[in-house]
Structure 1
Amino acid sequence: MTGLLKRLVIGRAMRSEELQETLLPKRLALPIFASDPLSSVAYATQEILLVLSLGGMAYLHFTPWIAATVVLLLAVVVLSYRQVVSAYPSGGGSYEVASTNLGPSAGLVVAASLLVDYVMTVAVSVASGVDNIISAVPELADQRVLMAVGFVVVLTAMNLRGVRESGRAFATPTYLFVGGVLIMIATGLFRYVVGDAPVAESAKYGIAAEPGDAHLAGLALVMLVLRAFSQGCTALTGVESISNGVPAFRKPKPKNAATTMAVMGAISITMFIGVTALALISKVRITEDSCRLTGLDGSCESYTQRTVIAQIAASVFGGEHSIGFYFIQAATALILILAANTAFNGFPLLTSILAQHRYLPRQLHNRGDRLAFSNGILALAIVAGLLLWGFQANVTQLIHLYILGVFTSFTLSQTGMVRHWNRELRTEHDPVLRRRHKTARAINGTGAVFTGLVLLVVLATKFTQGAWLAVLAASVLYVMMRGIRRHYDATATELAVTDPRDELVPPSRVFAIVLVSTIHKPTLRALSYARAFRPDHLEALTVSVDRDEATALRGRWQEYGIEVPLKIIDSPYREVTRPVVDYVRSIRRESPRDVVAVFIPEYVVGHWWENLLHNQSALWLKSRLLFTPGVMVTSVPWQLTSSAHADRPAGRAPGSVRRGEPPNSDQRPDRPVGSRRP
C-alpha cells in the first residue's frame, strides 16, 4: 500500500541513465529558477510604501527614487551573475566563486547565508501568496497557517517528482502571471495617458504618521529612506538561483543559463517599474496598521487592507468584481506560492554540493527515485513549514528575516569574481580578451560595492527587528558545517590504510557465541550458521532470569543432543543486556587478540503492528556490543509467514544486509535472551 501511494505521488522510479532526459530547455528553466525574482514585484513596491507610510503621506514622494535605485541595483546584479554563470558553470554559483577565490571560510559563509535565504524564500513566498488569496476571499483569513503549510506540502510532492515534472506543472502559472501583470501595466498606463487614470480604493484615505515619525529630518529621515530601500530590495531575491542551477540546463549550459538570466532581469525590471508607477498613479494607500488610515467609514479593526497589486488590479480593470481583478489575484497567488519553487530547486542543489564537499551529511548528495535530491527537498519543506507555523504565516514578521543572506552571498561572490578576473588578466595577453575581462571586472566590482552597501543598510535597519535571527541561524549553520567537515576529515584519516599487510593479519582465534532464549527454529538456524563459519571456539549463551526455566532449557539442550556447549549466566536482578556485554568484554580482556563473533537470532515480521508484539532486547544488545572493540555482531533472521507478503526493495532477499550497512531496519529481534516464553 505504501509503495502504491509513493508511486501515485512521485511517479515511477527513473534509471540513472535517464538523467539527461531531465535537463531543461530555457522555456521551462525560466519559471523554475526565476519564479522568485519574477514574483517579488507583487510585494516589493508594497514593502517600500509600507515603510514610507510610517511618516504619513509626507514621504511617499521618495518612492520613485527608491524604486529607481532598486532597478539600477537589480540590473547590476543580473549582469554580474551572467559573469558567474560563464566563469563557473558547474552549479556552485556564489558558493563556488567565494570558495575558489576567497577561501573555504568565505564559501561557507555564503553557503550558510544562502541556505537560510532559501528557507525564507519558501516561507515569505507562500505567506505572501496566502495573503493575496485572503485579499480576494477575506473569509479565509482564519485558515492562513493551514493553507500555507498545505501549499508547502503540495510543492514538496511536485518537486519530489523531479525538476522537469515540476517545471511543466509550474510553467503555465508563471507565464500567466507575467502576461497578466504586463497587460495590467499596459492598460493602466494607457488609461493614464488618455486622461482616465485608474484610482485605487484606498486613494480617498489619508495616513496618520506613527508617533515620533511625523516630522523626520536629518539622520532619522535618511534611516527611514534607507529602510524603505532595504525592503524594496526584496525584488532581488532569487537572482542567484540560475547560477546555482546551471547543470540542470540543456547544452550549451552556460549560454542557455546566461540567456535565461537576461530574460528574467528584463521582465523583472519592466514589471517592477510598471507596478510602482501604477501604485503612484492610482494613489494606493497602505499601512501596517489599518487604524492609521484616516477617513474610514467604519471600524478600523474590521477593515481588511488589500495588497498593493490587488488594489491596482481593481482600479485598472474596473473594480473588485471584475474578471481582470480575479485573474490577477489568482495568478499572483499562484506565482507567489510557486516562487518557493526557486528555493526547492536551489536548496537541494546547494546542499548536494556541500555534502559532496563533506560539509553536510552525505545523504543530501543522493538522488531519489525521480533523480531529484529528495533529502534536501524534504529538509527544506520541514524547516519552512515549522517557520510558517511559528510565525503564523505573517509576511510582515517574516520579511525582516529575509534578504540578509542573499546580499551576503551577492557581496562575497562579486568580490570573488573581481579576484577571478585579476587572476585571468595576469596570464591573458590577447588584447580583445583583456578588454572583455576588464569590462567583466568593472561590472563585478560595481556589483560588489553596491551589494555591500545594501548589506550594511539591511543590517543597520533590520537587525533589531528580527534580522538577528537570520544572522544567528547562518552562524549556527556555519559552525555546524565546519564541525561536520572536521568529523569527515578525522574519520577519513583514521580509516586510511597505511600498510595493507598489517591490516590483513588474521586474528589469533575466533570465539563465536550464539545467544539463546529458548530452543526453536531461529535458534537452531543461528547455531548452524555459526558452525558454518568454523570458528576456533563455539558456545551458546543464555541469561538466567528464572532458575526453573534455565534448568528446563539445559535439560532440553541435552535431550536434543546439541553438541554446542551451553553456558548459563545468572542474573539475580533480571537484567539481560549487561550480563551478556560483561561476559563478552571479559573474553576480550583475557585474549585481546581474539575476535568475538556474536550471533543473534531475530524475527522478521511483515506488518508494523507485529513489531509491537515482539521484545526489542536484541537491539539494545547490538547497540552495546557494537561499541566494544574486537566484537562482530551478526543478525540471523527468521522470516515469519507474514513477512512473505511485505514490500521490499527489488533484488533484496528477505533479511539480507548490504555490505557496509547496518541490519535491515525491518528486522526485529526475538524475545530477550533468557526471558519467559509466551
Structure 2
Amino acid sequence: MKVIEVFPTGGGGYLVATKLLGSGAGLVSGASLMVDYVLTVAISLAAASKAIFSIPILHQWVHLSLWLTLGSLAVLTYLNIRGVKESTLVLTPIFLTFLLTHVVVIGWGIFGHWDNLTTVVKEAGSTVSTARDTGTLWPLFVGFMLAYTMGAGTYTGIEAVSNSMNVLREPKVVTGKRTMRLMAWSLAVTAGGILLCYVLWGVKPMGEKSLNAIMIEAVAGKWNFPPGLIATFIFVTIFSEAALLIAAAQAGFLGGPAVLSNLALDSWVPHRFANLSDRLVTMNGVVLMAAAAGALIVATKGKVEMLVVMYAINVFVVFVLTQIGMCVHWIKVKRREKTWRRNFALNSIGLVLCGTILTFTLITKFTHGGYNTVLITLGLIVFCISVKLHYRKVSRLLRRLDMAFREIPEAATDPGLVNPGEDAPTAVLFVGGYGGFGIHTFFAIHKAWPRYYQRFIFLSVGVVDTAHFKGVEEVENLEKETENTIRKYVRLARGQGCYAVGEYKIGPDAVELMMDMARKVKKDYPQAVFFSGKLVFPNENWMTRLLHNQTAYAVQREMQFEGMAMIVLPVRAI
C-alpha cells in the first residue's frame, strides 16, 4: 500500500526499482517481471490441465495433460493475436461459480469435521514439542517457510494493483488500497479455509490428482444426495478452478507486453516493442510470450511443482528490490515525512521477510528448478545490457550528426513570413529531440523537393516513460522540453525562409498521439504530406533491423489505412 501512496500513478516493481535504486536494479526487476509473466502463463495453463484431469470421469486421460496445456496455450495465443481480451460478461459467471461452489466445500469441510479440530490442534502441539525436544525446530521452521513460499505467488495479484493504478477510478489511491485489502482478505480466507480442510480431512497426495480435487471428492462424498448430482457438483467445482486459472494465464498475456513496453522505452529491449497501440507490435509481444511459455512448459513437461519454484524465486526478487527501494525512499524523505520511522520499519520487516524467503528458496530448491529461473533471468539481463550498449553506441553516432549541423542558423525572431493558404503544399515532419537526426530529415525534404513546400509543420510527442513517469514535476519538465524542441525546429525552418509552425503532445503511446495530431493537421490542410526520418546503417544486419525503432513504419501503416500520404526518409549513421 505504501508503494501506491508514493507512486499514485502506478508502475509497480520496475518503476520503484528504477526510480529509487537506479537503472541497474530496475533492469533486474524488469527482467524478473518479464520471466514472471511468462511463468504466469505457463503455470496457470499447466495447473488448469492438472485440475481438468483431476475430474473423476476425465482422470483416465491424465497422460494427455501436457498436450492439453500446449493446446490451451495455442488457443489463447490465437485469441490474443485476434485481439480478444477478457470480458466481464465471461469472467463474472466463472468467478461466481467458483465462489459459490468453494464456499459450500470449505464451509461444509470445516463445520462438517469440526469435532476433529481439537485432535488436529493436539497433534500439531505434540509435533512442535517433539521437534523442540529433539532439536529439530529449525527444519520444521524451514518446512513452513518453503510451504509459504510455494503459495506466495498469490501476492502477485495484490502487487498487480500497483501496476494498474491508471485504470482505477478516482480517488485512485483510496480505491487501490481498498482493492488490495479486499484481495488480501479473500486470498487469506480462501487459502486458509482450503488448508484447514486439508488438515481436517487428512488429505494426502494421490498420483497425478490435485489436492483440491481430492479434498472436494472427500467432502462431497459424505453428502446424502444422488450420486449423479454429487458427480455434477464435483465436475462444476473443479472445472470452475480450471477456467479461473485460464483467465489468470490471460493476465500474463496482458501484463507481459506492458512490461516489455516499459523496458523498450528505457532502451533495454528493441524500441519496436514500445508502441502498444500498434497491433503488429502487440502481436509480436504476444507471440514472444507464448513461445517462451511453450518452451518452459515443454522443458518442465508441464510439472506444476517445478514451475511454482521458478515462479516463486522471481516473485521475491521483485519484492526484495521493491522493499529496498521503499526503505531508501523513507530515508531520503525523513526530513519532510513525519511518519517515516514507522513506514521505514514496515518496509524493513517486509524486506527481511521477503529476503529470508528468497534465500531459503534459492538454497533448498536450487537443484529442483531454481537454477533454471536464475539462468533464464540472467540470460535476459545479459541480452538487455547488450541492447543498451548498442543503443549507446548509436547515440554517439547521432551526436556526431548533431555536431555536423551545429552551425545551421536559426531565426532569432519571427521574420514576418506570410502564412500561405490552406491548400498550399504543406510538409508535416515528425521530430523527436532537437538534433542532427531531425535537422538532416528537414534538409532532405528541401533537397528532394526544392522550393516546393510552402509551409512546414513540426509535430513531436513527449513519451511518458519510466524516465519521466515519476511525478507531476517530471512530467511538467518533459512538456517544457518537448515545447522547446518544437520551438527550435520552427526557428530553424524560419531561418531558411520557410513559414513554419509546430505542435506537440505528451503521453505514454507515441503512435497513438502522432496519429491524433496527424488527423487534425490533415483536416486543416488537405494538401499535407507527412515525413519522418529512419536511421540506416552502412552494413544492415538482423541486429540493426531488430533493435531500431519501427515507429516511423508503424505510423506509416496507420496513415496508409486512413488514406494519408507519408514518406520515410533515410538518415545515415555516420
After TM superposition, is the score higher than 0.5?
yes
1:233 equivalent in alignment to 2:152: yes
- C-alpha distance 533-427 of structure 1, shift in aligned 2 (>3 A): closer
Shift of 1:452: 0.7
Secondary structure at the aligned position of 1:259 is classed as helix
1:424 equivalent in alignment to 2:333: yes
Question: Which residue in 2 is equivalent to 1:144?
Answer: 65
Shift of 1:369: 5.9
Shift of 1:267: 0.4
Q: Say whether the 8 Å CA contact 1:84–1:417 is kept in structure 2.
A: yes
Shift of 1:454: 0.5
Question: Which residue in 1 is equivalent to 2:74?
Answer: 153
Question: Which residue in 2 is equivalent to 1:253?
Answer: 172
Identity of aligned residues (%): 29
Shift of 1:280: 0.6
Question: Which residue in 2 is equivalent to 1:174?
Answer: 95
2:352 partner amino acid: V
2:269 partner amino acid: L
Question: Which residue in 1 is equivalent to 2:237?
Answer: 328
- C-alpha distance 306-165 of structure 1, shift in aligned 2 (>3 A): closer
* Residue among 185, 208, 219 paired with 1:266: 185
CA distance in structure 1 between the aligned counterparts of 2:253 and 2:88, rounded to whole angstroms? 11
Question: Which residue in 2 is equivalent to 1:348?
Answer: 257
1:339 equivalent in alignment to 2:248: yes
Secondary structure at the aligned position of 2:9 is classed as coil
CA distance in structure 2 between the aligned counterparts of 1:196 and 1:405, rounded to whole angstroms? 38
CA distance in structure 1 between the aligned counterparts of 2:360 and 2:398, rounded to whole angstroms? 48
Q: Say whether the 8 Å CA contact 2:320–2:354 is kept in structure 1.
A: yes
Question: Which residue in 1 is equivalent to 2:220?
Answer: 317
1:488 partner amino acid: Y
- C-alpha distance 489-254 of structure 1, shift in aligned 2 (>3 A): farther
- C-alpha distance 343-312 of structure 1, shift in aligned 2 (>3 A): same
Which aligned pairs between 1:368-383 and structure 2 lie closer than 5 A? 368=277, 373-383=282-292
* Residue among 461, 469, 478 paired with 2:381: 478
Question: Which residue in 1 is equivalent to 2:310?
Answer: 401
- C-alpha distance 196-372 of structure 1, shift in aligned 2 (>3 A): farther
Size of the aligned set, in residue pairs, is 406
Question: Which residue in 2 is equivalent to 1:121?
Answer: 40
CA distance in structure 2 between the aligned counterparts of 1:371 and 1:424, rounded to whole angstroms? 43
- C-alpha distance 147-418 of structure 1, shift in aligned 2 (>3 A): same
CA distance in structure 2 between the aligned counterparts of 1:161 and 1:343, rounded to whole angstroms? 16
Which aligned pairs between 1:88-127 and structure 2 lie closer than 5 A? 88-127=7-46
Q: Say whether the 8 Å CA contact 1:92–1:350 is kept in structure 2.
A: no
1:627 equivalent in alignment to 2:530: no
Q: Say whether the 8 Å CA contact 1:237–1:403 is kept in structure 2.
A: no
1:650 equivalent in alignment to 2:555: no
CA distance in structure 2 between the aligned counterparts of 1:373 and 1:87, rounded to whole angstroms? 30
- 1:79-113 Cα distance to aligned partner (Å, 9 max, x none): xxx11122113332111111221221111111111
Question: Which residue in 1 is equivalent to 2:343?
Answer: 440
Shift of 1:309: 0.9
CA distance in structure 2 between the aligned counterparts of 1:402 and 1:251, rounded to whole angstroms? 33
Q: Say whether the 8 Å CA contact 1:244–1:349 is kept in structure 2.
A: no
Q: Whose radius of gyration is greater, 1 or 2?
A: 1
Secondary structure at the aligned position of 1:90 is classed as coil
CA distance in structure 2 between the aligned counterparts of 1:280 and 1:164, rounded to whole angstroms? 39
Question: Which residue in 2 is equivalent to 1:490?
Answer: 393
Report the structure, 1 or 2, having the larger helix content: 2
Structure 1, unpaired ranges of 5+: 1-81, 198-214, 291-303, 429-433, 505-531, 536-624, 630-647, 663-678
CA distance in structure 2 between the aligned counterparts of 1:133 and 1:658, rounded to whole angstroms? 53
CA distance in structure 2 between the aligned counterparts of 1:377 and 1:424, rounded to whole angstroms? 40
CA distance in structure 2 between the aligned counterparts of 1:189 and 1:139, rounded to whole angstroms? 30
CA distance in structure 2 between the aligned counterparts of 1:482 and 1:149, rounded to whole angstroms? 32
1:183 equivalent in alignment to 2:104: yes
Q: Say whether the 8 Å CA contact 2:153–2:315 is kept in structure 1.
A: no
Which aligned pairs between 1:28-39 and structure 2 lie closer than 5 A? none
CA distance in structure 2 between the aligned counterparts of 1:371 and 1:85, rounded to whole angstroms? 32
- 1:507-564 Cα distance to aligned partner (Å, 9 max, x none): xxxxxxxxxxxxxxxxxxxxxxxxx9799xxxxxxxxxxxxxxxxxxxxxxxxxxxxx
Secondary structure at the aligned position of 1:659 is classed as strand
1:458 equivalent in alignment to 2:391: no
1:325 partner amino acid: I
Which aligned pairs between 1:521-560 and structure 2 lie closer than 5 A? none
2:538 partner amino acid: F
TM norm structure 1: 0.54
Secondary structure at the aligned position of 2:10 is classed as coil
Q: Say whether the 8 Å CA contact 1:351–1:360 is kept in structure 2.
A: yes
Shift of 1:347: 1.5
Q: Say whether the 8 Å CA contact 1:407–1:451 is kept in structure 2.
A: yes
CA distance in structure 1 between the aligned counterparts of 2:247 and 2:260, rounded to whole angstroms? 21
Shift of 1:231: 2.6
- 1:476-521 Cα distance to aligned partner (Å, 9 max, x none): 11122122122222212311313426689xxxxxxxxxxxxxxxxx
Question: Which residue in 1 is equivalent to 2:320?
Answer: 411
Q: Say whether the 8 Å CA contact 2:51–2:241 is kept in structure 1.
A: yes
Shift of 1:464: 1.4
Question: Which residue in 2 is equivalent to 1:469?
Answer: 372
2:99 partner amino acid: V
1:388 equivalent in alignment to 2:307: no
- C-alpha distance 372-442 of structure 1, shift in aligned 2 (>3 A): farther
Question: Which residue in 1 is equivalent to 2:495?
Answer: none
CA distance in structure 2 between the aligned counterparts of 1:382 and 1:503, rounded to whole angstroms? 49
Shift of 1:161: 6.2
Shift of 1:160: 4.9
Q: Say whether the 8 Å CA contact 1:116–1:405 is kept in structure 2.
A: yes
CA distance in structure 2 between the aligned counterparts of 1:316 and 1:84, rounded to whole angstroms? 41
- C-alpha distance 533-470 of structure 1, shift in aligned 2 (>3 A): closer
- 1:293-352 Cα distance to aligned partner (Å, 9 max, x none): xxxxxxxxxxx4421111221222237851321121011111122222232232222111
- C-alpha distance 324-361 of structure 1, shift in aligned 2 (>3 A): same
- 1:144-193 Cα distance to aligned partner (Å, 9 max, x none): 22211222233334445669654553343234323322232122223224
1:145 partner amino acid: L
- C-alpha distance 263-658 of structure 1, shift in aligned 2 (>3 A): farther
Question: Which residue in 2 is equivalent to 1:79?
Answer: none
Shift of 1:237: 4.1
Q: Say whether the 8 Å CA contact 1:117–1:404 is kept in structure 2.
A: no
- C-alpha distance 660-138 of structure 1, shift in aligned 2 (>3 A): farther
- C-alpha distance 239-160 of structure 1, shift in aligned 2 (>3 A): farther
CA distance in structure 1 between the aligned counterparts of 2:107 and 2:326, rounded to whole angstroms? 38
Q: Say whether the 8 Å CA contact 2:313–2:358 is kept in structure 1.
A: yes
Question: Which residue in 2 is equivalent to 1:507?
Answer: none
1:447 partner amino acid: G
CA distance in structure 1 between the aligned counterparts of 2:563 and 2:569, rounded to whole angstroms? 15
Structure 2, unpaired ranges of 5+: 118-133, 410-446, 451-535, 541-558
CA distance in structure 2 between the aligned counterparts of 1:459 and 1:533, rounded to whole angstroms? 61
* Residue among 279, 286, 306 paired with 2:198: 279
- 1:386-420 Cα distance to aligned partner (Å, 9 max, x none): 22123222213323322100101111101111111
Q: Say whether the 8 Å CA contact 2:258–2:276 is kept in structure 1.
A: no
